[in-house]
Amino acid sequence: MTDYVFKKYEENKGFEEYQAEIYNTVAKKYNAQTVTAEAIDKRLHDHKPEQDRNGMIFAFDSNGRPVAYIQYREYAQGKVRIGYPWATDDVPQSVKDKMFYDLLNYLKEKYPTNKKFYLGFLNGAFTDIIE
């Protein structure tokens, strides 16, 4: 795990491109719809309530290549959904687990009275991820 560096989202630093690259790598395996960095940027800035940038975490390999990301979103009525750690095939499960549990712990601190967090939803095309 020491071969990976974890970073929170930073505005105007290309993180939308990193997210699109990672997501599209996974989506193409399942013939699912891909996304552009522009669409990610628009969704990030249009989402209400405002997207928490500290809740968007990326993993980079030892060469500085973006290889995984995870995020959460808060929705109306205070429902908080944790996304799946999207990752390229070469990312060990331990890295994805660390990302998930680090984010979950962050959410428990941010929302100390919230006793329920929900897993985000996946398109039905991602069959083995859903299982």
Return the residue matching tokens 């405002």. 50
Return the residue matching tokens 């669409």. 39
C-alpha pair distances (Å), 80 with each of 9, 17, 32, 76, 84: 18, 25, 25, 9, 13
**Burial of 122: CB neighbours in 10 Å, binned 0-12, 13-18, 19+:** middle
The pLDDT of residue 101 is: 95
The pLDDT of residue 61 is: 97
Distance CA 60, CA 19 (A): 12
Write down the pTM of the prediction.
0.87
Q: What are the structure tokens assigned to 19, written together?
A: 């997210």
Q: In this structure, are residues 60 and 4 in contact, taking their beta carbons and an 8 Å threshold?
A: yes
Average pLDDT, the chain: 89
Instruction: Report residues of the chain scoring pLDDT below 70.
Output: 1, 121-131
Closest to 60 measured CA to CA, from 84, 37, 88, 25: 88
DSSP bridge pairs for 58: 7, 69
The pLDDT of residue 126 is: 47
